[in-house]
Structure 1
Amino acid sequence: MTITDVQVNLSTSEDFLDSETLAQIDLVQQKIQQYLQTLSLENLKTILEFAAYLSDKESEQATQEIREIPNIIEKLKEAEMDLQSGRLIDWKNLDDL
């Protein structure tokens, strides 16, 4: 099996992935572990650098998506003021309204 044999959609947060996608992620991680055990120290260092690059790139993409939300800074400041002043409703009690 090669990495191209596994179709994985990682565009959503892992907190909300369906069981099929989680199973695919597990399979890919197992295959990566198998390959890692066969590599030289130099190649492991290369993979580490590449993994760090991909992680940084993914993090930057997520940050950019947040920045593109209209008025996000103002909304966060308003939410913080609501929290500090106690103007909140516990979401668990929304059915009671």
Structure 2
Amino acid sequence: MAILQKLRRSLSSERRSAEVPKGHLAVYIGETREKKRFVVPMSYLKDPMFQELLSQAEEEFGFYHPMGGLTIPCSENLFVDLTSHLRKA
């Protein structure tokens, strides 16, 4: 749970965007310079598979995300597959 606490602190210091509905967060996905923005429910943060992605993001970027949302270094296909699975669960 320590990762979630650190992430919550990091996200609480970000500017809130009108484009992100309450209970959601913006994430940027990609392994190259080009990142794609997704808006996902905060409930995804509790899922062990999503937490693994958060660990990878922490290793690569720490908790500083200059794009204004969490940056996760994974392929878009992997992320879409994961979120599709979480939506069905």
The structure carrying a bigger helix percent of its residues is 1
TM-score range, shorter chain: under 0.3
Query: TM-score if structure 2 supplies the norm length?
Result: 0.26
Query: TM-score if structure 1 supplies the norm length?
Result: 0.25
Larger Rg: 1
Which structure ranks higher in relative contact order (CA pairs < 8 Å, sequence separation ≥ 6)?
2
